[in-house]
Amino acid sequence: TWSLAENPIAAWLSEAPTGGVLLPAECVVVGVTFDSTGLAPGGYSVNLVISSDDPDEPAVTVSVALTVPQPADITSVTYTATNLQVAFDATAVGEPPLTYAWSFGDGGTSNLEDPTHTYATWGCYQVSLVVSNGCGEDSWGDTVCVCEPVSGAGFIWAPPIPLADRNIARASHTN
């Protein structure tokens, strides 16, 4: 007779069968299933203890380990517009390799981490980024506006290129 137990009990591990009767020289295959659902990234370990009425080996301990990698996570995205050209800078963390999928709102795309995109016309565009790895994905989106520079006017805009949903202030005025 034999039995299988976890020490300590781990919700992320299951085994089948967990016990039975074996005749001398017989073997049994035990299926072990790992489930990382709901676990934080990191390492997990447990011992499987196989107990039997075998006087030569009454207990055998097998160490079992599970590593849960970190899913993709976008920590920041910044961008700088100069005329029709926008330079994007994305920061993401997660288990490598990370895959980047940019959509610039005008049909243009990129798979670079920090792309530069040039728009054909002035306007506002819905830009999105999806960063993914084997453990999941994260997404970001914003409206990016590229505006024709104001020239010949008697004032200065702050910021020099207004962004959607941002306040614009007249910084100075000349007569």
Predicted pLDDT at 49? 93
- Other beta carbons within 10 Å of 119: 19
Flag whether pLDDT at 106 surpasses 70.
Answer: yes
Predicted pLDDT at 55? 87
Q: Which is more confidently placed, 169 or 62? A: 62
Flag whether pLDDT at 1 surpasses 90.
Answer: no
SS3 state at 7: strand
Q: According to the per-residue pLDDT averaged within each range, which of 7-16, 45-54, 94-103 is highest?
A: 94-103
Predicted pLDDT at 160? 63
CA angle at 100 for the pair 148 and 81, rounded to the nearest 5° = 15
Residue at 6: amino acid letter: E
Predicted pLDDT at 161? 64
Flag whether pLDDT at 93 surpasses 70.
Answer: yes
| pLDDT one-digit tens code per residue, 76-87 | 999 999 999 999
Predicted pLDDT at 175? 47
The distance between the two most distant Cα atoms of the chain, rounded to a whole number of Å, is 104
Q: Which is more confidently placed, 23 or 120? A: 120
Confidence (pTM): 0.65
Average pLDDT score over residue span 124-149: 95
Predicted pLDDT at 114? 98
Reduced to 3 DSSP states, what percent helix, strand and coil does the chain have, rounded to the nearest 5? Answer: 0, 55, 45
Average pLDDT score over residue span 59-76: 94
Flag whether pLDDT at 35 surpasses 80.
Answer: yes
Q: Which is more confidently placed, 127 or 3? A: 127
Flag whether pLDDT at 173 surpasses 60.
Answer: no
Flag whether pLDDT at 172 surpasses 60.
Answer: no
Enumerate helices (H) and strands (E) in the chain, giving the number of each: 0, 15
Instruction: Report d(CA 13, CA 63) in Å as an integer.
Output: 12
